[in-house]
Amino acid sequence: MSRIEHHPKDDTLYSYAAGSLPAALALVVGCHLQFCPQCRSQVRSGESLGGTLMSALSPQALSERARSNVLQRLEMQEVHADTQVLTHTDEIEIVSSLAGGKNTGARGSMPVLLQKVLEEKDFDALPWKRTIAPGLKQIVVDCGEGRARLLRIAAGRKMPAHSHSGSELTLILSGGYSDALGQFNAGDVADLEGSTEHQPVADSDRDCICLAGMDAPLAFKGLVARLIQPLVGL
């Protein structure tokens, strides 16, 4: 299998290390880390730097408002205790355990983080939902913050042309696609901003399965695409 050519941007990895990415984007990065030792190393460096900076700070007393915010967050965690949403700590622990082992899982297989969320190990066993867009199926991944979708683009088919009203991270899990930015294969990540417009086309020999996380809806081009967007759910 070819090496990973496309990685998250440096600021994305450092935001992940700091725990400041929205959950949907963090899930994509965490899954990529399972397959990419280069990015795992960069995240560890970011965590080490953050720890050094934190240790150099002088202790400050918490205000009453800060105390209330902490208690409120704890109450929210109790309310959602039965959900399958992973915290950043969960992600780091899983990725670290994989990095310490001899086998981090072959590209083309479902990442362990995604298995934890979906409670399934086989892409074909998932309850894929058809969309109105031809050749496109999806599964909504509940992250609690941001939007995450597992997308399956039929071989040779293409997504509607679109740009982004926010940030989008897309990790190729199986197969591949090409667009104006190049060829993306299993393990690659497209780290896109609002100004980027593209139209991924799945490789002709197999379906392309990818995990997309975004902090705002996509902005489809063309009247028909915009009309069907609420029905597609992207």
**What mean pLDDT is predicted for residues 64-93?**
52
Phi, psi (5° rounding) for residue 227?
-70, -35
**What mean pLDDT is predicted for residues 85-102?**
52
Looking at the predicted structure, is the pLDDT value of residue 82 above 50?
no
Would you place residue 123 in the very low, low, confident or very high pLDDT band (cuts 50, 70, 90)?
A: very high
**What mean pLDDT is predicted for residues 6-23?**
93
- Alpha-carbon torsion 156, 157, 160, 166, what sign? negative
pLDDT of residue 62: 58
- List, for residues 217-233, the tens digit of each pLDDT value: 666 665 444 444 454 55
Query: Counting every residue, how long is the chain?
Result: 234
Helices (H) and strands (E) in the chain, counts: 7, 11
**What mean pLDDT is predicted for residues 114-134?**
90
- List, for residues 22-78, the tens digit of each pLDDT value: 999 999 999 999 999 999 999 999 887 655 555 555 565 656 665 565 565 555 444
Mean pLDDT value across the chain: 78
Chain center to CA of 184: 15
Full set of structural domains in the chain with CATH: 120-232 (2.60.120.10)
